[in-house]
Amino acid sequence: MLAPAAFLAAATVAILLIRSGLDPNDEPPVAPPPATRSVRTSTERGTTRPRPRPRVNRTYTIREGDTFETIAADQGTTVEQLQALNPDVDPNSLQVGQKILIPR
């Protein structure tokens, strides 16, 4: 007769412990989403994209009568870009034969 009473007491304690750990306002824990892997499709396999060529600046040699304005107009760029590429060059003191960088 002692065994059923002990079982009932153990079950009651277990239920009380479980219920005390549950908060009615608390939502059950949510598992994080499964990790995803990038999968190649058959059309992607074996194809490569051409890598963009790095933008390498060109060298320009100053000629008689050149100014940053005329060089920019002839080369399809702006005076601001020329000045940014050539911070050590004084645009008011260009010398024939002097080399400057121009954008490609």
Task: Tell me if 28 is assigned to some domain.
Answer: no
Task: Tell me if 23 is assigned to some domain.
Answer: no
In this prediction, residue 56 carries a pLDDT of 80
In this prediction, residue 55 carries a pLDDT of 72
Q: Residue 86's domain spans which residues?
A: 58-102
Per-residue pLDDT of the chain (104 residues; tens, 9 = 90+): 677 778 888 888 777 767 666 655 656 666 777 776 666 655 555 567 888 777 788 999 999 999 999 999 999 999 999 999 999 999 999 999 999 999 98
- CATH code: domain of residue 87: 3.10.350.10
For the chain, the domain total comes to 1
Q: How far is CA 11 from CA 7, 8, 17, 22, in A?
A: 6, 5, 10, 17
Q: Is the pTM of this model over 0.85?
A: no
Q: Within 13 Å, how many C-alpha atoms sit on residue 39's CB side? A: 4
